[in-house]
Structure 1
């Protein structure tokens, strides 16, 4: 009989190392924010096929992350708590989760291998669920490596990530530590991410929106306070996202002291560094909102999508922690959605609406969810909504839902969003772009799948969230609340479904777990 020889797959190692563990794998993207418990390592997204699995002591294989920019914060907490996976294998590069690993390595020395596989190799690895997987730098196998031709004791040079990078004089000063420890750490993290993105230089930005001010655990506070205590000060105007508590009322709301005090300290660390205490997940509603073409660095997934798509500003979908690093230096990788070529659509979605079909408040969030699900990491252009003339509030609802399930930084809507003046303007005609039709029955199917409650189930709590649940939504919610169904305790889902759908998909501002009904 012949000897079995395990396949050895080679990928691209974004964070190098050696590891082994039992493989848990899925062909579905996973949002770590809200989808993974950072204190236990359990996958808690109840719509995901890995729900109930624990990441500790495993090798995790997923196509990539999705949803919130705060996934990097969850990854940091998992590694600091020793509850994270021993390695991660991606089908496509994931900036947010990889950044969380990089930050853990920079501030604590803890890191795990992160490898992006070729699509065919990734699919082969999916078939190895439950087996022990071995990782050695960029190599992955179902059997342990016994070769001796590699020198595993040789570590990369301290600043290996600047190879091939065109640094400005200011970048060099930052990297030499001439502007303090905080700026030195920040520029190292920025350059590591630039190397990951394939960017060869950095660029100036005019403003930053920080999402890392949400408290994900002790690691997020440790990182911010270290930067603050090292003398960190923002170099460009910087706004802050909504935080984890109501600063004035968290005690009377029953928030545990340890959580409330830590969240308060985290917010203070950022304001001490000069960030404005805006505390909003909708910075596009502030007077400081960027203009079309303005180069900015925003985190918070729904805000990134709105800025790129509706305002026409330019930002990548920056992970938590990278946002404050850019604020401390004013420098960002020149890549991603900052560049024209990376803002083109690679998917055409044609929305087919029956004549005379009535559009209500549920339409745009459920369409955003469908478009985001189909797009995954691709920038889509949506065709067929010109005659509806969606308002900016409609686009806000659409974009927030889109951001919960897509990792793309933007969308185009033909004849609606500023760059989509024609299909030719947002599509590379030299490429074959797939086209998919979306029909009303597809949206109804998604609605029924997400709404797992029975039609007559009583509603115990409705929790609106500002600022995306704005005054017009309050008026419509009030109207629904004044029409309770007879014979039920309180209000039924059939009374409130337009309100619930908008709340579940939109007002969570890109922080959805995928568990829209619990």
Structure 2
């Protein structure tokens, strides 16, 4: 056809569809980046911000950020606001899994096609696209040819011949352990084939991210598993849910959210999961050891487990996490193996002065965007020896902008104490040198507020640790927040009790803070955030990125000490940290 070109790719999910092409060369996190009710892109840092996905062929390099992207995509497929098709530069397990679960539960689907980076670049500027099986046709104008999509079976009856199955695997697949385990094994094997795995591996524990309520479909999925008699086979913890299960009514949460969100947490506990409700399972006594094979979802937890603890997990999508917990078996691929854990990018930092705690989330945010899906090895922090809270903040922000499940810091993280061990022998890797001016650009990106008002101070994304509570108590002692400022902290129940026993909570409550358990700032909204509030402050790079889209507020990003000061004055100082001020000076001199 005149004005058209065609490409051949790899089917991740078969099907046929067409629509106006919506192209971006930046990965998109569906969680926090796409409204699950409307399909609008709400990531205000993304080039597609404000666009609607419904009926369009979405072309992005890959997903990024949260493991809950699979749940959001399943929700969109269920409610009719999904794109017509997905075209990716590289395979994305999170988004693909959302489609596979929608097939299984709702018998609705959409095609997912991977075409490679070189071919992907040719989509720029095209107006219309058509996916048919492994073929992608692109058009400069909307074609008028009476095309109709072909029917594609929801289930293709795979024999799984490419995967070595044990007798136990076959018994699960044959339904000998119940329908829930059978369905779970079917999904595990479909993903294993897409990933190119030839074996499965036993896992020691799981952390479930699918307990976040994204809409009716997420609850329906969990309750269907319970109806089928689902029971986890390994110790399993639960991520933050969407409400404080004990106090959501007292916090003024609408029952239209509170009731189903609480019911979703109950459904996963009915499957045998522990009542943990934290996005920081590495703070629990059950945290895995180095080398332990685990299945964790929740992007910041995955990155921390791999990078800081030295455990082994992929960045598991929501719903694949529970499927693996129900079977105890995971595809032996990616970061479960040795070679894929090696660095594919070397990052060198400039000389810096004395650092504060705002440095690490900012750096993680910047390096995540730089790395994309590549695992970085960072040089230049050896002398600073970041602590576990610093690494937590770095990893959460890194996981927000990167698709990689792992980072290495030379001389700091366990697999890079000897940096040579984090690199594959005789394999050259590209080098990126970061300048202070680059970090100043990311600082300005995270600081989206344009006036100095502060009406909400948001702490605990990821959930606060015991040491963070101790530091906050020292900053708050003998002071009281401004009466017009809400300062709220999210944390897990276990850490809250530890902090209370240590005497920190009394000081923090006397300061005027609100403590919220079970949920996290990625799920909190009004009325915890007052409806009239227009600006908030946070020390979380992750939340500074997501908040403008999730809650429609502008953000001041700063250190914990600055957050406490602003809670007292209801105003942001706007000061740059001392380590970043030379970049501003150099910028000023360049304009003289």
Q: TM-score, normalised by structure 1?
A: 0.90
Contact residue 15 and residue 151 of structure 2 kept, 8 A: no
Q: In structure 2, what is the equivalent of residue 496 of structure 1? A: none
Contact residue 295 and residue 315 of structure 1 kept, 8 A: yes
1:101-250 mapped onto 2 (5 Å cutoff): 101-128=99-126, 131-142=127-138, 158-160=156-158, 162-250=160-248
Instruction: Identify if the C-alpha distance between structure 1 residues 511 and 287 changes in structure 2 by more than 3 Å, giving closer, same or farther.
Output: farther
Q: How far off its partner does 1:450 sit?
A: 1.9
Q: In structure 2, what is the equivalent of residue 252 of structure 1? A: 250
Deviations 1:473-505 (A, max 9, x none): 524663898698xxxx979xxxxxxx9452343
How far apart, in 1, do the equivalents of 2:38 and 2:94 lie? 20
Q: In structure 2, what is the equivalent of residue 517 of structure 1? A: 554
Contact residue 47 and residue 514 of structure 1 kept, 8 A: no
Q: How far off its partner does 1:121 sit?
A: 1.4
Contact residue 393 and residue 540 of structure 2 kept, 8 A: no
How far apart, in 2, do the equivalents of 1:38 and 1:112 lie? 16
Q: In structure 2, what is the equivalent of residue 78 of structure 1? A: 76
1:287-306 mapped onto 2 (5 Å cutoff): 287-306=285-304
Q: In structure 2, what is the equivalent of residue 502 of structure 1? A: 539
Q: In structure 1, what is the equivalent of residue 333 of structure 2? A: 335
**1:465 is aligned to 2:463:** no
DSSP 3-state at the match of 2:21: strand
Q: How far off its partner does 1:31 sit?
A: 0.8
DSSP 3-state at the match of 1:327: helix
Q: TM-score, normalised by structure 2?
A: 0.79
Contact residue 505 and residue 512 of structure 1 kept, 8 A: no
**1:394 is aligned to 2:390:** yes
Q: In structure 2, what is the equivalent of residue 91 of structure 1? A: 89
Contact residue 209 and residue 321 of structure 2 kept, 8 A: yes
DSSP 3-state at the match of 1:45: coil
Contact residue 504 and residue 516 of structure 1 kept, 8 A: no
1:369-448 mapped onto 2 (5 Å cutoff): 369-448=365-444
Q: Which runs of 5+ in 2 are unaligned?
A: 487-535, 556-592
How far apart, in 2, do the equivalents of 1:275 and 1:169 lie? 26
Q: How far off its partner does 1:101 sit?
A: 0.6
Alignment counterpart, residue 29 of structure 2, candidates 18, 31, 47: 31
Q: In structure 2, what is the equivalent of residue 349 of structure 1? A: 347
DSSP 3-state at the match of 2:369: helix
Q: How far off its partner does 1:463 sit?
A: 2.5
Deviations 1:343-402 (A, max 9, x none): 000000011123xx1201111110111111111111000011111111111111111111
Deviations 1:162-201 (A, max 9, x none): 1311111111111111111000110011111111110011
Contact residue 43 and residue 549 of structure 2 kept, 8 A: no
Instruction: Identify if the C-alpha distance between structure 1 residues 157 and 482 changes in structure 2 by more than 3 Å, giving closer, same or farther.
Output: closer
Instruction: Identify if the C-alpha distance between structure 1 residues 145 and 40 changes in structure 2 by more than 3 Å, giving closer, same or farther.
Output: same
Q: In structure 2, what is the equivalent of residue 495 of structure 1? A: none
Instruction: Identify if the C-alpha distance between structure 1 residues 196 and 117 changes in structure 2 by more than 3 Å, giving closer, same or farther.
Output: same
Deviations 1:118-172 (A, max 9, x none): 22211111221xx221110110002579999xx9678597432613111111111
DSSP 3-state at the match of 1:142: strand
How far apart, in 1, do the equivalents of 2:236 and 2:548 lie? 21
Contact residue 214 and residue 244 of structure 1 kept, 8 A: yes
How far apart, in 2, do the equivalents of 1:123 and 1:430 lie? 30
Alignment counterpart, residue 360 of structure 1, candidates 350, 356, 361: 356
Aligned residues: 499
Q: In structure 2, what is the equivalent of residue 494 of structure 1? A: none
DSSP 3-state at the match of 1:14: strand
Instruction: Identify if the C-alpha distance between structure 1 residues 334 and 480 changes in structure 2 by more than 3 Å, giving closer, same or farther.
Output: farther
DSSP 3-state at the match of 2:454: coil
How far apart, in 1, do the equivalents of 2:485 and 2:240 lie? 31
How far apart, in 2, do the equivalents of 1:161 and 1:515 lie? 48
Q: How far off its partner does 1:422 sit?
A: 2.2
DSSP 3-state at the match of 1:447: helix
Contact residue 382 and residue 412 of structure 1 kept, 8 A: yes
CA RMSD of aligned residues (A): 2.8
Instruction: Identify if the C-alpha distance between structure 1 residues 333 and 511 changes in structure 2 by more than 3 Å, giving closer, same or farther.
Output: farther
How far apart, in 1, do the equivalents of 2:17 and 2:329 lie? 34
Instruction: Identify if the C-alpha distance between structure 1 residues 227 and 366 changes in structure 2 by more than 3 Å, giving closer, same or farther.
Output: same
How far apart, in 2, do the equivalents of 1:296 and 1:288 lie? 12
